[in-house]
Structure 1
Amino acid sequence: MTDDFTATLPRKRMGAGLLLTDPDDRVLLVEPTYKPYWEVPGGAVEADESPHAAVVRELKEELGLPVQPGRVLVTDWVPPRPDRTEGLMIVFDGGVLTPEQTVGIRLPADELRSWAWCTAQEADARLSELLARRVAAAVRARAEGTSVYLENGFHVS
């Protein structure tokens, strides 16, 4: 049996989120119980789990929604901070939720305090600066039919 040299390579934290909007182009944000700021639905990618599978799992756990993610809108590399390792965050296109789907949203009380449809201005006020940049980039990428690569929420030329 040969040794797997890839086991010695650095590992990165990964997260996967979903951009969901309503027919009025407002973005769905969730308010976690364990953070001071809001998020897009999604969460950590577990060991041996793909980002796509993670976002499907997280949407069922967080909102009770069986949503099928579309294409990748944003890939964002986030540098390390004193309280966190570096990470790779992916935002998928979740499409437009119908009023019927919205009625079916169910929150886990121990994880999420609330959810809301937010305009761009409301999202900026509720999200961290980094997440606000990432969400704005995802909205633009969806509108332009592109995918973007960011570093710390900023476009890389």
Structure 2
Amino acid sequence: MGDVKADELPELTFALPTIPASAGALVRARNDRLLILKPTYKGGWTIPGGIVEIGESPWDACRRETREECGIDVTTGRLKCVDFRRPRHDRPGGMRFLFDCGVFDDDVLDTVVLQPVEIAESRILPIDAALPLLSGPVRRRVRAAWKTKRVRYLEDGRTVQGVGP
């Protein structure tokens, strides 16, 4: 067996698995209130956030999406929840990162500027009033992250047996 030259090797091609990721922001107000947004492109309410773009970190995506959707610059955050969503026939699944971006004063939250193409309305509601308005997966992440001091790991929005907070 002689030496084989690199250009004589067959080209190997394979696809690495891709897992879509998104990042969301808990933008809190005093007295246990939460900023929620009403998207134009789907039903229900959500929190600021969106898809992690190629080359972007989840934290960078959280900050960019919050700035784009409601005009708020978040400069600090703490990872509060990671949720693995299994793919289904109608959605690709993926990883969802949720950051607590701190408590903002009302004078800052009064300056919210919505991105009208994506966001129809915003509200700042007590957490107990906000949670029922959020879509199921977002609601479960927000509920899991709201008071905890540790990062929570979820799968499809639910705690996983054997994985502690």
TM-score (norm 1): 0.89
Contact 1:39 1:127 in 2 (8 A): yes
Deviation per CA, 1:70-104: give whole Å up to 9, x if none. Answer: 11000000111221112100001110011121122
For structure 1, the residue ranges without an aligned partner over 5 or more in a row are none
Q: Residue 121 of structure 2: which of 114, 125, 145 is its match? A: 114
Q: Residue 150 of structure 1: which of 130, 147, 154 is its match? A: 154
Number of corresponding residues: 150
Percent identity over the alignment is 37
TM-score (norm 2): 0.85
Alignment-mate amino acid for residue 132 of structure 2 = A
Contact 1:18 1:69 in 2 (8 A): no
For structure 2, the residue ranges without an aligned partner over 5 or more in a row are 1-5, 7-11
Is 1:67 aligned with 2:74?
Answer: yes
**Deviation at 1:124?**
2.9
Counterpart residue number, 2:24: 17
Query: In terms of Rg, which structure is larger?
Result: 2
Alignment-mate amino acid for residue 16 of structure 2 = L
Is 1:97 aligned with 2:104?
Answer: yes
Distance across 2 between alignment mates of 1:140 and 1:154: 16
Question: Residue 130 and residue 98 in structure 1: after superposition, are their counterparts in 2 closer, same or farther (change >3 A)?
Answer: same
Distance across 1 between alignment mates of 2:65 and 2:76: 11
Distance across 2 between alignment mates of 1:50 and 1:11: 15
User: Which piece of structure 1 moves more, 18-27 or 123-132?
Assistant: 123-132
Alignment-mate amino acid for residue 150 of structure 2 = T
Relative to its length, the structure with more helix (as a share) is 1
Contact 1:30 1:39 in 2 (8 A): yes
Distance across 1 between alignment mates of 2:89 and 2:15: 23
